[in-house]
């Protein structure tokens, strides 16, 4: 999955996350990171196939490169993918449950 032809046109923060306007190969798409729903893109690949798309990948890279903080230092990509807690990947929901239970997030 290459995101080299993807350009982030704008980023805005709102109460529950970040919103991106992305120029893809076939048009502009809205990508959203929401504390409750995780990453969402309005491209057909993500909407209809529920797949991890290159627009989301480009936005995740943008977040990491620019040091943007996501709410509560706890973010979910997709229930089937990895979880990042305090910048470290975890492959188990146990780490997230522990972080929530201990109040360390």
Domain hosting 17: range is 7-102
pTM of the model: 0.64
Q: Is residue 2 part of a domain?
A: no
Q: Where are the alpha helices (DSSP H) in 1-105?
A: 44-49, 54-66, 93-102
Look at residue 1 and tell me if it is in a domain: no
Domain count, the chain: 1
- pLDDT, tens digit, 9 for 90 and up, residues 7-37: 999 999 888 889 999 999 899 999 999 888 8
The CA distance from 83 to 11, in Å, is 23
């Amino acid at each position: 999955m290459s995101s080299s032809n993807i350009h982030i046109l704008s980023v805005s923060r709102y109460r529950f996350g970040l919103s991106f306007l992305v120029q893809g190969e076939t048009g502009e798409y809205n990508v959203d990171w929401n504390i409750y729903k995780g990453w969402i893109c309005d491209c057909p690949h993500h909407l209809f196939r529920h797949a991890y798309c290159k627009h989301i990948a480009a936005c995740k890279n943008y977040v990491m490169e620019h040091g943007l903080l996501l709410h509560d230092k706890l973010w979910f990509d997709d229930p089937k993918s990895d979880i990042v807690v305090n910048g470290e990947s975890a492959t188990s929901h146990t780490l997230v449950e522990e972080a929530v239970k201990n109040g360390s997030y």
